[in-house]
Amino acid sequence: MTSLDKPTEDTQADDARAVTEAALFEAFGGVRGMVETVLPGLLFVTIFTITKDLHWSAIAALAVSLLLVVVRLVMRDTVKHAFSGVFGVAFGVVFAMMTGNAKDFYLPGMLYTLGLALAYIVTTLCGVPLIGLILGPVFKENLSWRTRNPGRKKAYAKASWAWGLILLAKCAILFPLYWWANTAQLGWVLVALKIPPFLLAVWLTWVFLAKAPAPIDVFAEMEAEEAAAAEAEKAEKAEAAGGRHRREG
């Protein structure tokens, strides 16, 4: 390696890390997505702690979720994270209203977290780690990492294990509290556990992917193949036209 090669490799590594950071930011919603995830639950537990009124707490949480979607629509921004928040809050409101138990507002989200943890682990054991399915389209590699990029598949497997185990640890804290703690205690612990485990999982994903081989851009490959096919067709037509001219001449 010459002295001129090192800066180039460092630049490529920095570019790869920047691309990874941008992809993770897009996939998981960034700071705004985290706010949209935390705010409804925070509002619910705050109002319930003060008033002990399930109905007003649930209505406030659902209203702020809908407001976040409206803001996204007005700004013509992606609404997937806000919509997921609305559905999560709506299910929680329905559960709590049906049972009359305010703690059931949190139950759908807790069950979803448990299911997601198991999905990360099971898909990894099956050789198709879920984080790769989520991030593959973001990196424009789709499923190419499964057969063509083993180093990247290994990184996705590590990241999926991290997500699964972190979420299982979160469930191990929340489910006992669902049975033993009151609504306010459960709510405040759940709010406190919204962001730190998520950030830890995202950071570990970034660490694993930053060290992995670069993604294979299958879209660029398809475009190159189409361009090559078009050039070949153009050359064939030119050759055929030249042959006709020679015969006519």
- In this structure, the answer to whether residues 35 and 105 fall within a common structural domain is yes
The residue ranking higher by pLDDT, 189 or 26, is 189
- In this structure, the answer to whether residues 96 and 198 fall within a common structural domain is yes
Over residues 184-201, the mean pLDDT reads 92
CA distance 118 to 150: 23
- In this structure, the answer to whether residues 128 and 249 fall within a common structural domain is no
Cβ atoms of residues 230 and 77 within 8 Å: no
- In this structure, the answer to whether residues 138 and 242 fall within a common structural domain is no
Over residues 179-205, the mean pLDDT reads 92
Residues 76-113 pLDDT 10s: 766 666 666 777 888 888 889 899 899 999 999 999 99
- 3 state DSSP class of 17: helix
- In this structure, the answer to whether residues 198 and 223 fall within a common structural domain is no
Which range has the top average pLDDT, 2-11, 55-64, 106-115? 106-115
Q: Which domain range does residue 93 map to?
A: 5-216
Measured in Å, how far apart are the chain's first and last C-alpha atoms?
59
Residues 6+ away with beta carbon under 8 Å from 243: none
Rg (CA), the chain: 25
Poorest-confidence range of 28-37, 62-71, 161-170, 183-192?
28-37
* In the chain, % of residues over pLDDT 90: 43
- Give the pair of three-digit tokens for residue 197: 């485990």
pTM of the predicted structure, to 2 decimals:
0.79
CA distance 24 to 21: 5
Q: Which of 143, 160, 37, 149 is nearest to 89 (CA)?
A: 37
- In this structure, the answer to whether residues 235 and 160 fall within a common structural domain is no
Poorest-confidence range of 45-59, 162-176, 222-236?
222-236
CA distance 63 to 39: 11
- In this structure, the answer to whether residues 105 and 210 fall within a common structural domain is yes
Domain count of the fold of the chain: 2
Residues 206-216 pLDDT 10s: 999 988 888 88
- In this structure, the answer to whether residues 91 and 208 fall within a common structural domain is yes
Over residues 185-212, the mean pLDDT reads 92
- In this structure, the answer to whether residues 198 and 225 fall within a common structural domain is no
- In this structure, the answer to whether residues 172 and 67 fall within a common structural domain is yes
Give the per-residue pLDDT at 190.
92
- In this structure, the answer to whether residues 83 and 121 fall within a common structural domain is yes
- In this structure, the answer to whether residues 73 and 152 fall within a common structural domain is yes
